[in-house]
Structure 1
Amino acid sequence: MRPPDWLHTVDHSGSGAIHEIECTSCLAGSGPADDMDAPAVWALRHARRTGHTGYRRMVTDFQRAPASDG
């Protein structure tokens, strides 16, 4: 008997993707959010306040590797 095959899939059982923006000049960050709106507003306000123009956008999603029946 062979071992089960494994699949790598998006985990839909919890929250969706988590979004965050980080300033590449000072490393200040927006904090995590369920959508991109709040981090984007944070980045625009931070840019206006500091003059910093470079940002790193991070999106984290969750995966599972359940065994398949095949």
Structure 2
Amino acid sequence: MTVRAVYRHVDWRLTVDPNDDRPQYTAKCMTCGDIAELSFRKAAPEVWCLRHARRTGHQRFCTGALSFLIATCADR
């Protein structure tokens, strides 16, 4: 008996999650790894960076925006 595999290739697409359509912003200290809480306000992580720098003396940060996506099969 021979077992054969059937591969089905389908296209997928990403769309913004309608329940979470606003980006959330955050920041991370590159010195100690502390991370700012997610915020819908872009300025909040920047303020966190400045306060963290004042408190610790750390000077390097990484910031970013997170968007929530949904992957759906194009055949559906």
Q: Which shows bigger deviation, 24-33 or 7-16?
A: 7-16
Q: Which residue of structure 1 lines up, in the alignment, with residue 45 of structure 2?
A: 39
- Give the aligned length: 69
Does residue 49 (structure 1) correspond to residue 55 (structure 2)? The answer is yes
* TM-score using structure 1 length: 0.72
Give the alignment partner of residue 18 of structure 2, picking from 12, 16, 19.
12
Give 1:25 deviation, angstroms: 0.5
Aligned-pair Cα RMSD in Å: 2.5
Which protein shows a greater Rg?
Answer: 2
Alpha-carbon distance between aligned partners in 2 of 1:57 and 1:64, rounded to the nearest angstrom: 23
Alpha-carbon distance between aligned partners in 2 of 1:33 and 1:7, rounded to the nearest angstrom: 27
Aligned sequence identity (%): 35
* TM-score using structure 2 length: 0.67
Q: Which residue of structure 2 lines up, in the alignment, with residue 65 of structure 1?
A: 71
Structure 1 runs not aligned, ≥5 long: none
Structure 2 runs not aligned, ≥5 long: 1-9
Give the alignment partner of residue 24 of structure 1, picking from 17, 30, 41.
30
